[in-house]
Amino acid sequence: MAAPLVLVVLVAVTIRAALYRSSLAAFISERVEVSSPLNAWKRVVEGLALLDLGVSPYAGAVFHETPLIIYLFHFLIEYAEMVFMITDVLTAVALYLAIQDFNKVVFKKQKLLIELDKYAPDVAELIQTPMEMHYTPLKVALFYLLNPYTVMSCVAKSTCAINNTVIAFFILATIKGSAFLSAVFLALATYQSLYPLTLFAPALLYLLQRQFIPVKLKSKGFWLYTMQYAALYLCSLVVIICLSFFLLNSWDFIPAVYGFILSVPDLTPNIGLFWYFFAEMFEHFSLFFVCVFQINVFFYTIPLAIKLKEHPVFFLFVQIAIISVFKSYPTVGDIALYMAFLPVWSHLYRFLRNIFIPSCVLIVCSILFPVLWHLWIYAGSANSNFYYAITLTFNVGQIQLISDYFYAFLRREYYLSHGLHLTRQDGTEAMLVLK
């Protein structure tokens, strides 16, 4: 399997290199859908230039990256294009290895459940076979590398790619079962953009499953392991933050990074839901609504954890998708990460009810974004409502996609344990609905 992967990597790198040399690079890096105030490359360069002039890069609300990014790019700024291509490749390779391991885990679990007779007799066609899952890791790498969103994000040199790499390594470490590495990478991801905090729950659930510790609230083993993992995570987070203090000898980066993410002061339009609301809100309501919007991101973790505690990797997928929809400054790079996982659930295809509409919505909205931006900003014949409508539609499309997959996943699980032909008590055919 290495050879096809290498081929895919080569093709991806060629596309990116070609785009870097073309005139589209400047155009793409200016797009607000691709670069947000948090991860724009222009701001990284600006921050490093300020540092060379002897001023703290966090003075003035230009630079919102973490000190580790300063350290990384201080030496690598001339090779920025190579760095971003390498990060994309690393992400793809990490996802490839992670999904390879995940397949093995799925097989083991399936085998166990078959031997335990947990499956209904007529669900043979639903069980995943090695033949059909052989190419899934390659497809995942392909989906990530050749996704136009990823390519645009790489060409724009948005540091979202670095965040994706860290999350991909976190997923790899989690699936391999190493709690320590998983905690370290999760701490790095949280340190960079705060929202991967919610990925703590699926990682914990997966590791518990792997250690065969049942998730019971009264069980001592459960709490012991949870405490261990949480301690590892928090300690690494604290260590990384304290280490960042020593880079510039100041705590300036905390309000500049986390304060900025949480309080959303910059209302440049992007593909998220925050900017329009807060642009037209009165001052004395804005604190309340900022809290409401931020809680919205973290809110789905507990209910999903309860529902999907047997399927933590799917929970991870849904959680990453929710982060990329509801975070304060989303970009298409975040979307590319969870879309890379879609081949893993390709066996759910027969249960997806309305895959056509969300895909059309996503494609059409992606095309309409630059069109309506041009009409609004340059032609002056539209206004922000047009752009926000497309943003809303795009996010609704994403949510429909996720909930469709969620429904299909749960439906398959139900069929697995209750048989394919469901009947009601009086013998007529029954239909599953998601309430």
Partner 1 sequence: FQEQAEQFFRSGHTNNWAVLVCTSRFWFNYRHVANTLSVYRSVKRLGIPDSHIVLMLADDMACNPRNPKPATVFSHKNMELNVYGDDVEVDYRSYEVTVENFLRVLTGRIPPSTPRSKRLLSDDRSNILIYMTGHGGNGFLKFQDSEEITDVELADAFEQMWQKRRYNELLFIIDTCQGASMYERFYSPNIMALASSQVGEDSLSHQPDLGIGVHLMDRYTFYVLEFLEEIHPASQTNMNDLFQVCPKSLCVSTPGHRTDLFQRDPQDVLITDFFGSVRKVEITSETVSLESGLAGFESKLPKDELATEPLKYAEQLPVAQIIHQKPKQKDWHPPGGFILGLWALIIMVFFKTYGIKHMKHIF
Smallest gap from Cβ 10 to partner 1, in A, equals: 26
Angle at the Cα of 73 (from 68 to 78), degrees rounded to 5?
Answer: 175
Rank residues 99 and 173 by Cβ distance to partner 1 and give the closer one.
173
| DSSP 3-state of 423 | strand
Sequence letter at residue 387: Y
**How far is it, in rounded angstroms, from Cα 218 to Cα 412?**
30
**How far is it, in rounded angstroms, from Cα 411 to Cα 102?**
21
Smallest gap from Cβ 83 to partner 1, in A, equals: 17
**Binding residue (CB under 8 A) for partner 1 from 79, 104, 109, 180:** 180
Smallest gap from Cβ 72 to partner 1, in A, equals: 10
**How far is it, in rounded angstroms, from Cα 112 to Cα 107?**
8
Return the residues of window 199-258 that contact partner 1 according to CB under 8 A: 239, 243, 246-247, 249
**How far is it, in rounded angstroms, from Cα 45 to Cα 77?**
8
CB burial string 217-227: b at 16+ within 10 A, e below = eeeeebeebbe
| DSSP 3-state of 393 | helix
Angle at the Cα of 82 (from 366 to 20), degrees rounded to 5?
Answer: 45
Smallest gap from Cβ 40 to partner 1, in A, equals: 21
**Binding residue (CB under 8 A) for partner 1 from 100, 178, 286, 296:** 178
CA 42 and chain centroid, separation: 23
Q: State how far the alpha carbon of 306 is from the alpha carbons of 61, 201, 300, 344, in Å.
A: 40, 10, 10, 22
Number of residues that bind partner 1 (CB under 8 A): 17
Structure tokens at 431: 């239909």
Smallest gap from Cβ 284 to partner 1, in A, equals: 39
Rank residues 74 and 118 by Cβ distance to partner 1 and give the closer one.
74
**Region of 29-37, 67-75, 201-209, 342-350 interacting with partner 1 (CB under 8 A):** 67-75
Neighbour tally for 291: CB within 10 Å: 12
**Binding residue (CB under 8 A) for partner 1 from 7, 14, 24, 74:** 74
Query: Site map for partner 1, 39-58, x if CB under 8 A?
Result: ------------xxxx----
Is residue 381 involved in binding partner 1 (CB under 8 A)?
no
Rank residues 150 and 174 by Cβ distance to partner 1 and give the closer one.
174
Rank residues 100 and 178 by Cβ distance to partner 1 and give the closer one.
178
Q: Which residues lie near partner 1 (CB under 8 A)? A: 51-54, 68, 70-71, 74, 178, 180-181, 184, 239, 243, 246-247, 249
